[in-house]
Amino acid sequence: MADPMLRLRGVNKSFGQLEVLKGVDLDVQRGEVVCILGPSGSGKSTLLRCVNLLEPPEEGEIFLEGQDICRGPGSGTGESSWNLDFVRQRVGMVFQQFNLFPHKTALENVTMAPEKVLGKSKREAEASATALLERVGLGDRMTQYPERLSGGQQQRVAIARALAMEPHVMLFDEVTSALDPELVKEVLDTMRELASEGMTMLVVTHEMGFAKEVGDQVVFMDGGVIVEQGDPRQVLDNPQQERTRKFLGLVLDR
Amino acid sequence: MKVFFEQYFDFNVMGEHFWEVFDAFLQNLLIWVVAAVLVLSWGLILAFLRQLPGKKFAPVRFLTIAYIDIFRAIPALIVILLISGGVPFLTFLPKDIRIPHWFGKPDPFWYGVAALLLVFGAYMAEVYRAGIEAVPRGQMEAARSLGMSHAQAMRHIVIPQAVTKVPAPMLNEMISLLKETTLVSFIAFGESVLVSREILAERLNSSALILTAFFFLIIILPMARVVDYLIKRNQLKITRGAHIEVG
Amino acid sequence: MSKTRLTALAVFLIALTAMVLAACGGGSSSSSESSGGSETSGGSEESKPLTVGSDIPYPPFEQGKPGSYTGFDVELMEAIGEEIGREPEFIDSSFETIFRDVAQGKFEAVMSAATITEEREKVVSFSYPYYLSEQAIVVQEGSSIKGLADLKGKVVAAQQGTTGLELGKEKAEASELRPYPEGPDAINALKAGTVEAVIIDAPVAVNAVEELGGIEVAEKVPTEETYGIAVAPESTELLEQINEGLSKTLANGKYTKVYEKWFHEAPPKGIFTAVEEAEAE
């Protein structure tokens, strides 16, 4: 069998005294959608940020398409590591707070990285950016600045922006948490479509419905470790662990 | 009281020396413009050097911080005196640099510009730093996650936003810079304070100083109003931004 | 234990500093009060020091640190003070404002290598002349500038508000004439090579050449100018006393002694005749 798209082994991460990840193992197959659940502070966002080396792990190994992207224990900031470019060009990320560039239009937000990082011509970058923005349903909003877009629209621009780098893996970090309820659906629809096209996705979310429907695998994290993982229906409808049950009970009560 | 008014508000003296003082004040403006252009760029370079990431750049960061601390601490006048008194003796430098007469301006002009550049560059670096730190961390993270290098992220994403946050404090520094150009009188450059003091020595009357003060007032008062306007506008923006994030 | 001691020491030092500062402040304010007092009562209270404004340093006329100023002006004033029974107290002051300051009573007299001019006489009264002045053109050793005529098109320095600057303006045709706040600044600029010549009082020039080396006097220019001691126009009594004291020092050899000490040569005959003429008037 081919290498999994992503393989994590014993990933540890601390911020000063605070141990946030305590040895996480995880395999993500090509084209798989993995939803990560867990209470706040469980380390799920940090796990995503480890995968694209925004927060390089202190210990453990991360293989991306079979390539070790960490230098092993104590690899420091990763700034000088050759595998940083390798990672950033294969892994796209979408953030809770969108983090669109406010001084750029929607179109410029999407063309920026292909032009500056991949060295694409302006015309080429704009052509593919236009296609991407149309795909996320924002063909008529391309010249708007983020300030003039709704939260849902901003988040869809952010998704298009990440896709413009033609990533092999997409990371979604609570991308609907900052949205008004009526705007959540449009973003989830976009993600759903992406999943159906075969994109490998790691999704940190509180949207149980989405996890159940789209997820190929659900991971429940608490206290920096994976407590339970498996088929979405099994984990969500019939959790084996007490902590999972308790968390799901809290979420469903909400 | 009468003596006071004769001494400082003799309109005959002001009238007779008006153009003399005016021309000298233009020299202050010239130093100001030249120094300001350089200060704005130099401060940006320092601010950039100061926040280079990683272990590799630690010495650069350290030197930059040391520079900024030192030149924020030393009075501009001392820097002016040290440069004008010291640089000419650095014989390893070519004469055109030791004793510059560029663009038809005498060496005290350039010593003054250099000293003000060193001092206000440090101040401006701090203004820019405050601007950079006011840009949310997520902007840098988003840029990095798209594969931009730190330098690219700074240049295309962080600095363009930081620059929009600095006009008010920047303008304040520029106001100080304009006033401090009078220090160049200490090295005998014929700017407005020096000329006013010469008039004082000649006429034994200080009214030319009041005239000079008046010129500064005319230029600086509108700038001060602009600063207030910018601060007010920025506050509006901040409250609006916060509302969006909460929503 | 030791920590509380350290704290106590720190508190003590701060308190001490504060007290010293307060004492200094009090001292200076009381001395300014006394000078104010003596102004109103003229020179009648002989025990009080005679306050003299002077732009220090200007060697060899005035130099040294506060409290121990010395120089030709300082020692001559001390000699005059002995004759009239008042000890001078020199106060450092900026030259450009010095005549206005004495007229306004900031101090009682000005003795600061000050040339007697008509313009200044509108504001203050001058004593008999006590020094015949010459200006010197100072250049770097080996300079092609040999005198006033060679200053054409050159960068020339002088001190703000001085006769040297006036001479430069009127006769030098310099490409640029730079007025420095202090004489030594101008000399420094010459040493640094940023100016090509300095026009300054001859004794100052000679002194600077001796002290520094590498520079020389290209030419001495007689100016027909004399130095005087200035007082406020209403201080007629004080002016008489100073004139009387000056005449006595010229007569009893004290003047000659001080002159020789500072200028390493005998005083010119002209100064005696100038004072005699002034007395006759």
Residue-wise pLDDT for A37-94, tens only, equals 998 888 999 999 999 888 888 888 888 888 888 764 344 444 444 567 788 889 999 9
ipTM greater than 0.95? no
Residues of chain B in contact with residue A77, where contact means CB-CB under 8 angstroms, are 53-55
In whole numbers, what is the pLDDT of chain A averaged over residues?
A: 88
Percentage of chain A lying above the pLDDT 70 cut: 93
Q: For chain B, which ranges sit under pLDDT 50? A: 239-247
C-alpha closest to that of C92 among C116, C63, C56, C129: C56
Residues of chain C in contact with residue B108, where contact means CB-CB under 8 angstroms, are 178, 194
CA A245 – CA A220 distance, rounded (Å):
10
Mutate to test the interface with B, among C55, C95, C96 (most CBs of B within 10 A): C96
Q: For position C17, what pLDDT does the model report?
A: 66
Distance from CA of C260 to the nearest CA of B (A): 31
Residue-wise pLDDT for B51-99, tens only, equals 887 778 889 999 999 999 999 999 999 999 999 888 888 888 887 888 8
Residue of B nearest to C160 (CA): B198
CA C245 – CA C127 distance, rounded (Å):
11
Distance from CA of C4 to the nearest CA of B (A): 32
Sheet with strand A67-68: strands edge to edge? A18-28, A6-15, A59-64, A67-68
User: What are phi and psi for residue A201, nearest 5 degrees?
Assistant: -135, 135
**Please, do chains A and C touch (3+ CB pairs < 8 Å)?**
no
Buried b (16+ CB within 10 A) or exposed e, B182-202: bbbbbbbbbbbbbbbbbbbbb
Cβ distance B153 to A95 under 8 Å? no
Residue of B nearest to A165 (CA): B146
Out of B107, B186, B204, whose CB is closest to C181? B186
Residue of B nearest to C94 (CA): B201
Q: Hey, are the CB atoms on C181 and B188 less than 8 Å from each other?
A: yes
Q: Is the pTM of this model over 0.90?
A: no
**Please, do chains B and C touch (3+ CB pairs < 8 Å)?**
yes
CA C91 – CA C73 distance, rounded (Å):
13
Mutate to test the interface with B, among A46, A71, A85, A88 (most CBs of B within 10 A): A88
Q: Hey, are the CB atoms on B146 and A88 less than 8 Å from each other?
A: yes
Residue-wise pLDDT for A118-134, tens only, equals 899 999 999 999 999 99
Residues of chain C in contact with residue B201, where contact means CB-CB under 8 angstroms, are 95-96, 160-161
Give me the average pLDDT of each 10-residue run along chain C (281 residues).
64 64 49 41 62 91 91 95 93 89 92 90 93 90 88 91 86 88 88 91 87 88 88 94 94 94 87 88 80
Interface check for B20 against chain C (CB to CB < 8 A): the answer is no
Mean pLDDT value of segment A152-165: 94
Position C270, amino acid: G
